[in-house]
Copies of this chain bind each other. A is one copy, B any other.
Amino acid sequence: MTDDIKIPPRRPLTLKDVSEASGVSEMTVSRVLRNRGDVSDATREKVLAAAKSLGYVPNKIAGALASSRVNLVAVIIPSLSNMVFPEVMTGISEVLDDTPLQPVVGVTNYLPEKEEEVLFEMLSWRPSGVIIAGLEHSDASRAMLHASGIPVVEIMDVDGEPIDAMVGISHRRAGREMARAICKAGYENIGFLGTKMPLDHRARKRFEGFTEALAKEGVEVMDQEFYSGGSALKKGREMTQTILERSPDLDFLYYSNDMIGAGGLLYCLDAGIDVPGRIGLAGFNGVELLDGLPRKLATMDAGRREIGREAARIIAGRSDGSITETGQRVELTPKLQPGETLRRW
């Protein structure tokens, strides 16, 4: 009986295969597999058994085309390699896990052209929603998003006009509040250290808010230092040394993110500089890492996880019809964490 040898199917199984194996119509098989409509227990059992034994995996492509429903949520972010966006992802996953929706991630590396590409690619899959970082996009990107008719939530930032919904914090305000806290603590010679990233609009806005609030107190940023690429912790060290050698009078350093701030803190401690007595330090983001440093860096928690959750809730709600409004605007409040690198006042 050489005919007995089973050749494993190279062709993926279809509903028809399950239908034939179970003796139930394709339509009913489809109903069972989606838990839709009423099906008798007996039929259900038969179908389930057949599907399982065959190892049937439904073809969502066909399903999506037929139903014009796609349970995918496009998430478009600039980077995965700093701690901030993975945490947003965690928030998104947390709420989508309780829905039929699935996140699909695209990374833009802070490049508008890349964003456009990724967006086009993702929109061509007709997702149920788009969650995209930032409010600044190319005209083409905005047009696509607009024309798609798909729910869009722009996240992280609320300083600007959203295409549809937005969830985030005001980075201008975050910068202002940090400036006020610093002045209140009595620091006067303030330096700024950040990334060499003209396209990081949120960092830019924080800096703008920061200088604006300082100006109100009659203070100006005394010196600045920028970096790009490499280990942020190491860069933080190096930049700190550089700026302090150049401007020894500085008594406060404001970093555009916690990683370089942590590097700066390690440098100061190594160099025997009194923190926060001689020099105060502050970062931005509120990353978990800070918990393990020798001294806790002052920072401002951006509520990244909560931003992810809230954005996902909006998409999920619109997708299942429980939310019908559009244009939601959710502003979260960044929380100042004074840590131990800011003088008590």
Contacts and interface: CB of A to CB of B under 8 A. Distances in A.
A104 B70 CA distance: 15
Interface in A119-153: 120-121, 123-126, 143-144, 147-149
Interface string A57-96: 1111110110000100000000011000011011001000
A57 B12 contact: no
Interface residues of A, number: 57
Can you tell how many copies of this chain the complex includes?
2
Interface of chain A, main secondary structure:
helix
A65 B70 CA distance: 14
A86 B294 CA distance: 27
Contacts of A289: 231, 233
A321 interface: no
B292 A263 contact: yes
A93 B289 CA distance: 26
A175 interface: no
A10 B146 CA distance: 10
Interface of A: 8-10, 12, 55, 57-62, 64-65, 70, 80-81, 86-87, 89-90, 93, 102-107, 120-121, 123-126, 143-144, 147-149, 230-237, 262-263, 266, 270, 288-294
Given A55-B147, A59-B124, A80-B90, 9 more contacts: A8-B147, A9-B147, A12-B126, A58-B124, A61-B70, A62-B65, A102-B106, A235-B292, A236-B292
